[in-house]
Structure 1
Amino acid sequence: MVLPVPKKRRRISAFFKILIALTLACGALVAGGIYVMRSIKPLDLAEPPPEDGCEVVTEEDTDSLEVEQAANAATISGVAFARDLPEHAVVISYATVWQESKFYNIEHGDRDSLGLFQQRPSMEWGTPDQIIDPVYSSDKFYEALIEIDGYADMPVYEAAQAVQRSADGFAYDQHEARSRTMADAFTGVEGPAVSCWFPAEDAAPTDVEGAAEEMRRVFGVGPDELASAERQTGDLGWAMAQWAVAHARDYGLSSVTYQDRRWTLSSTQQGWGDAETPAGDGGLVLE
């Protein structure tokens, strides 16, 4: 005869079964956690920066660009100086280029579109060779922009769309905040806000005169004319200094000195420092 188990003993037995199940489950979780922790590599806080790149630092934000992107941004801003246009025009152009080409001077696009602004030879923007020149294409964009009545008071995306006549004009709006940060930097209002770095062996042969000549083509003035030049856009001196930094790889420049600040070529994100030998008031020295 099998005697029935008292209810109290059945409850205790059930309790121990649950306790054992929980213990096994917790053990499995702990073991799994230890395995995951051992499998994940620890974060390397000392990871070196990319071999080349540029950094834009303003009071509002910090942004990273590739050297090619920074060089094109500096040229687009510089052409606005040559035309004596306000910073708002630079913001509009930047928002446009972010949408159209992300600041890469590409030789392809929708149908026959080319270059930074994806302008079309068939729409009378110029020849392919002209459009692929960042100075020419920037100038043509600004030429069309200033024909838009009241563009200076328009929202950025509306002004961009009025020039580009894109399928989705509102797409330019997503780039406004980033474009404003970049415009503050490349127009010089934030001082030494742009710094670039790259391996010295990647640089072209040093050509200071070539860099100065191209600056005249972009800005309408060269480094030797800076002190007497006046423009309504930002700070011309800092804009030219940062153009030189962004193009240092193209012209083999190892240092750029403006007034009492100096950028020196480095393979790290060193940035600008104090100049041992200041360039003086309005002075810009390329080496």
Structure 2
Amino acid sequence: MPEPSRPQQRRRGRFFRGFAAFVVLCAVAGYLVVQYITAGTGAPGCEVASGKGDGVAYEFTPEQAVNAATITAVGTGRGLPERAVTIALATALQESGLRNITHGDRDSLGLFQQRPSQGWGTEKQIMDPTYAAGEFYEHLVKVSDYAELPLTVAAQRVQRSGYPEAYAKHEPDATVLAAALTGSSAATLTCEGRPEATLAAGPQGVREALVRDFGGDALDTTADEVGAAEASPAPKPTVSGRTVTVPVKGEVKGRSVRERGWQLAHWAVANASALHIQRVTYAGREWTAGNTQSEWRPTSSEGTGGAERGTGSVRILTAQ
């Protein structure tokens, strides 16, 4: 049998080299896709568990956690029920994967893929998660009996999507998220808390983010001891060293002290990576940045007053 000619050998060599390069390229592309979807090494980084003890849990990234916490804060700040928050979270999960993206179908943008050309706001406004969430709720409350409708029907009446049934598949995850982030489910959200290299924050950054997301709902609604005439109607979170203390007193918009406290505590954990938060303490429980398996553990009673062990305030310790 004659041996292959040199041109044939060269062609075979080029073929195998090309095939090998193609395989490597596919592997690299796959790696980059995974990194993009999961937000990098060690993702997802956050986990929320059902408060019903049924083993249901949802894992998500720090980026998704921040956006989910903002969407929730905007909803509760408007006095809307947990069902409204669930609908909003399921919608954002479908539309953007809870990521504030700069692209979409035609001119769609942001968490809810809202379109400037359809009157949702300017591009800059829509890319602001607080604004985008507010616009979604503004339209949702105009839907008659939205809280009684199937989630996918309520969401579709706001979004007018070409895939009206798509929202339903996100309802289980959105329900667990909403329960934790509204505070109705206590000590159920944890994040790894690995600081993001591109961001820097401290106690003032945490305080500003609280006011941005919650507005008055983040603040104590009771007058301080100097009297109502001289007191601010809503004392702001205070900063001492690396610690931000957020007062939690009095029922607000139908939500109990416990619910408001756990919402603020879970919000802080969700923002741990972005704001470099090291520890969150509330109601005698403590979360410390570490990994997704970290638990809300009982705090030591040493050096801690009854108010701090109870529901009087949320304490947030930053890393710097």
| 1:54 corresponding residue in structure 2 | 46
Count of equivalent residues: 239
Q: Give the one of 87, 91, 99 matched to 1:92.
A: 87
Q: Is the 8 A contact 2:193 2:290 kept in 1?
A: yes
SS of the equivalent of 1:228 reads coil
Matched, 1:273 2:265: no
Q: Structure 1 residue 233: deviation in Å?
A: 5.3
Does 2:243 correspond to 1:213?
no
Structure 1 residues without counterparts, runs of 5 or longer = 1-48
Distance (whole Å) between structure 2 residues aligned to residue 51 and residue 112 of structure 1: 30
**What is the RMSD computed on CA atoms of the aligned residues?**
2.1
TM-score normalised to structure 2 length = 0.70
Matched, 1:286 2:316: yes
Q: Which amino acid aligns with 2:253?
A: R
Moved over 2 A (4+): 49-52, 198-206, 220-226, 231-234, 276-282
* Contact 1:237/1:284, CA 8 A, preserved across alignment: yes
Q: Cα distance 1:268–1:92, how it changes in 2: closer, same or farther (>3 A)?
A: closer
Tell me which of 262, 267, 288 is aligned to 1:238. 262
Between the aligned partners of 1:256 and 1:130, the Cα distance in structure 2 is 31
* Distance apart, 1:244 and its partner CA: 0.7
Residue pairs, 1:42-121, within 5 angstroms? 50=42, 53-58=45-50, 59=52, 60=54, 61-121=56-116
Structure 2 spans left out of the alignment, 5+ residues = 1-40, 219-236, 238-245
Query: In the alignment, which residue of structure 2 is the partner of 1:226?
Result: 248
Amino acid at match of 2:249: A
Give the partner amino acid of 1:284.
V
Aligned-pair CA distance for 1:268: 5.3
**CA 1:286–1:161 in 2, change beyond 3 Å: closer, same or farther?**
same
* Percent identity over paired residues: 42
Deviations 1:36-91 (A, max 9, x none): xxxxxxxxxxxxx9366001011241111111111111111111111010011011
CA distance in 2, matches of 1:209, 1:259: 23
What amino acid does structure 2 have at the position aligned with 1:53? G
C-alpha change, 1:252 and 1:165, in structure 2 (3 Å) is same
Higher relative contact order (CA 8 A, sep 6+): 1
Q: Is the radius of gyration larger for structure 1 or structure 2?
A: 1
Which position in structure 1 is the counterpart of 2:33?
none
Matched AA of 1:160: A
* Whole-Å separation in 1 of the counterparts to 2:195 and 2:163: 42
Closer, same or farther in 2 for the Cα pair 1:53/1:129, shift >3 Å? same
Q: Secondary structure at the match of 2:165?
A: helix
Residue identity matched to 2:168: D
Q: What residue identity is the alignment partner of 2:86?
A: V
Task: String of CA shifts for 1:161-183, please: whole Å, max 9, x gaps.
Answer: 00000112111112112211211
